[in-house]
Amino acid sequence: MSMSQFEKALQAAKEYIEVPDYIENCADAVRYDFLHGPAVALIPKGDITQFTSDDLYGDSTFRSDFEEEAKPEDKVVMVFKGVVSDTLEEFISNLPSSLYYDVESGEILESEPEGETYEDDNPDYNPEDPESEEYVSVYSEPTEYFEISGKDLVRAVFGKTIANNL
């Protein structure tokens, strides 16, 4: 498989998976944590679905400052090994273990393509022979396709930093 076809497959997979904004924000926070060290996040009203990129704080050494600034209903948490990374890990664990890219159509399929069997005229049909059959079963191979593994899917959707570390 050429790289261009693989890249097309990954792009199609990325477009196929619907990622809610808060999950994208969790991924950005986890990526930041991996690349820059421990980070702190504010979870508005304790609801992870309300988490935005503005709620990510950098250096965890200032956690107490963030806790003082937070409203009573907010939660200040460590990004990694907390609700932010747990939410991202849960989303990733619910992704398909593999998808399939149909090269001809450019579509993403959730199950492996199968060939088709259909009835066709039998060129050897002899109406005078009682054992001769008018139709025969013909099998056609599926069009060219590629499997996208779960790891490649995570890499396509969230990047290699997250794919390699979660």
* Segments making up each domain of the chain, as ranges: 3-110+145-165
58 φ, ψ (degrees, to nearest 5): -75, -115
CB of 61 within 8 A of CB of 119? no
Distance of alpha carbon 119 from alpha carbon 165, whole angstroms: 51
Q: Is the pLDDT of residue 64 over 80?
A: no
Distance of CA 19 to the CA centre of its chain: 8
Count helices and strands in the chain by DSSP H and E runs: 6, 8
Give the rounded percent of residues in the chain with a pLDDT score beyond 70.
Answer: 93
Nearest of 74, 36, 41, 73 to residue 56 by alpha carbon: 41
Beta bridge partners of 75: 43
The CA angle 63-64-66, to the nearest 5 degrees, is 65
Position 3 pLDDT exceeds 80 = no
Tell me which of 26 and 57 has the higher pLDDT: 26
What is the share, in percent, of the chain residues with pLDDT greater than 90?
A: 46
Task: State the pLDDT at residue 1.
Answer: 47
pTM for the full predicted model = 0.79
pLDDT in tens, 132-163: 777 777 777 888 898 999 999 999 999 999 99
**Per-residue pLDDT at 63:** 66
Comparing 7-11, 13-17, 147-151, 157-161, the range with the smallest average pLDDT is 7-11
For 81-123, what is each residue's pLDDT tens digit?
889 999 999 999 999 999 999 998 999 999 998 877 777 777 7
Asked whether 143 and 113 are in contact (CB, 8 A), the reply is yes
SS3 track for 1-48: CCHHHHHHHHHHHHHHCCCCHHHHHHHHHHHHHHHHCCEEEEEHHHCH
pLDDT at residue 149, rounded to an integer:
94
Rg (CA), the chain: 25
